Amino acid sequence: MKFVYSSHAQNETLDLERAGDDFEIEIGGERARVQVIAFAPPRLIFSYNGKIFDARVARAGKKHWVYIQGATFVFERAESRAARDAAPGAREGAGSGIVVAPMPGQVRGVLVEQGDAVTEGQPLVLMEAMKMELKVNAPHAGVVAKIFVTLGQSVEREQILAEVIKRGG
């Protein structure tokens, strides 16, 4: 079975097949035999090419957290391209006027209104989390097409805050 994970905007594909009690794995063009020694979540002990790894694993939604050899990773199960494009918060390159929350937190101020003309870098929304304030700015000059949040609202990271449309675009 194929697994596609993304982390830090990098996609990684691996193929995992049962082979008796073991697994056959292919990643980065290399094939190897993996033996699961113990699986008692969050602990996962396995051997890869004869070397034993002691990992801790946990899952929340699409996010897979792994601690292994002193490092912690979070991998997101990549969706199909079509599903991702349709998803809210999808950002399609630099031309997009969709402005998303850079961190989870509360909306402490909505600084513009729908229909306002804004300049590049102009603050749109004021956020606060863990006693820290952050201004979320317009990615480019244009007109505020829509504000998606209200004062006091709690937002998740990557949640859409506003949309700024380029003039004539």
| Chain contacts with another protein (rule: CB under 8 A) | 1, 3, 5, 7-8, 10, 12, 14, 16, 18, 21-23, 25, 27-28, 34-46, 48, 52-60, 64-75, 77, 102-106, 108, 128-134, 154, 157
Pick 77 or 166: Cβ nearer another protein: 77
Token look-up 């050899």 returns 69
Closest CA to 65 of 87, 44, 90, 81: 44
> What are the residues whose beta carbons fall under 8 Å from the beta carbon of 52, sequence distance 6 or more?
37, 45, 46
Closest approach, Cβ 53 to another protein, in A, equals 6
Pick 9 or 169: Cβ nearer another protein: 9
Closest CA to 158 of 78, 82, 98: 98
Pick 9 or 167: Cβ nearer another protein: 9
Amino acid, single-letter form, for residue 107: V
Closest approach, Cβ 96 to another protein, in A, equals 19
Contact predicate 11/4, CB 8 Å:
yes
